[in-house]
Amino acid sequence: MAPTLYMIHPSPPVRTVLMTAKAIDLTLNEKEIDFFGEEYLTPEYLKMNPQHTVPTLDDDGFTIWDSHAISTYLVSKYAKDDSLYPKDLQKRAVVDQRLHFESGIIFSRLLRITRPILFHGRPTIFPEDRDNMIDGYAQFEAILEGKTFAAGDYVSVADYSLLSSIGSIATLVPIDPEKFPRVTAWLQRVQARPECAVNKRGQDEFAVLFKSKLSKE
């Protein structure tokens, strides 16, 4: 039986898992939850995931949440090889570092921008939050020096994770291609990969959702 993924398409972490599954040719039972109806707060959902986040994976009774944990689990269990999440300890450490960079810097700064807009009706992006996001781009620009992909010359789950977040927040805080040519080239390179086509729907929905809530002034 295919693993079940509880999800909403606009969520960047959800799309990380969708890209990972596509890359390893794994079919998921995609179960979209009613986010605005707060289905993530029902007793049934909280029993699976006390943090009430998406995505949540149910693999034949084994439940796990957090896109980084889910993606590395799926590759470790279902992939035909370890190219997306190497078994070599040094290569894996680099991929892990990039995943932590995405969660600790990029995604956390994305949330500082998006949560007040979505849940508190803030109609604008504060300048300091915009600057922090641009600083995140600058850090990634430095990380990418001499590299084709996030962890080196090969695609890894870190690229999917970073694409889901950077591609989304860039619709609200654009990436200056002159200041960040490596990030710009990396973004185009990863977006062009066939498995990353599943990212587009959610990224477009993310942009429409948040732009509709921002002041037009």
d(CA 30, CA 74): 15
| Class of residue 41 by CB neighbours under 10 A (exposed 0-12, middle 13-18, buried 19+) | exposed
Catalytic site positions: 11
Q: Which residues are registered as beta bridge partners of 59?
A: 62
Query: 107 and 11 in contact (C-beta within 8 Å)?
Result: no
DSSP letters for 1-40? -PPEEEE-TT-HHHHHHHHHHHHTT---EEEE--TTTTGG
Query: 140 and 196 in contact (C-beta within 8 Å)?
Result: no
Q: N- to C-terminal Cα distance for the chain?
A: 51
CB atoms within 10 A of CB 120: 7
Structure tokens at 49: 């995931």
